[in-house]
Structure 1
Amino acid sequence: MLFESPRLRLRKMTKEDTELYNKWRNDLDVMYNTNPSLDVYTLESTEDFVEQVILGSSTAKSYIITETETETPIGIVSLIHIDYKNRNAECIIDIGEKNYWGKGYGSEGMKLILDYAFYELNLHRVSLRVFSFNERAIRLYTKMGFRKEGQSRESLFRNGKWHDIIHMGILQHEYLES
Structure 2
Amino acid sequence: MEVVMLQGKRIFLGPMERGMMDKLLKWFNDGEVMQYIAVYLPMTEMAEEKWLEALGTTRKNTDTVFVIYVLDGENKIPIGTCGIHNIDWKNRDAEIGIAIGEKKYWSNGYGSEGIKLLIDYAFNQLNLRRISSRAYCFNVKSVRMHFRLGAELEGILREAVFKNGRYQDVLCFGILRSEWKKNRK
Range into which the TM-score falls when normalised by the shorter chain: over 0.9
Give the number of equivalent residue pairs: 175
Match of 1:38 among 37, 40, 54: 40
8 Å contact kept, 1:14–1:55: no
Structure 2 matches for 1:92-111, cutoff 5 A? 92-111=97-116
Please give the TM-score of this superposition, normalised by the length of structure 2: 0.90
Structure 1 residues 82, 63: CA separation in 2 closer, same or farther (over 3 Å shift)? same
Provide the residue aligned with 1:27 in structure 2: 30
Structure 2 matches for 1:59-74, cutoff 5 A? 59-69=62-72, 70-74=75-79
Match of 1:173 among 175, 178, 181: 178
Q: Report percent identity of matched pairs.
A: 37
Give the 3-state SS of the residue equivalent to 2:144 in structure 1.
helix
Match of 1:128 among 127, 133, 136: 133
Query: Shift of the alpha carbon at 1:163?
Result: 0.9
Give the 3-state SS of the residue equivalent to 2:120 in structure 1.
helix
8 Å contact kept, 1:8–1:68: yes
For residues 160 and 82 of structure 1, the distance between their equivalents in structure 2, rounded to whole angstroms, comes to 32
> Cα deviations across residues 40-98 of structure 1 (Å, max 9, x unaligned)?
1221221112212x333120000000002231000101000011111110001000100
For residues 162 and 13 of structure 2, the distance between their equivalents in structure 1, rounded to whole angstroms, comes to 33
RMSD: 1.3
Provide the residue aligned with 2:18 in structure 1: 15
Give the 3-state SS of the residue equivalent to 1:137 in structure 2.
helix
Please give the TM-score of this superposition, normalised by the length of structure 1: 0.94
Paired residue type of 2:89: Y
Paired residue type of 2:19: E
8 Å contact kept, 2:35–2:164: no
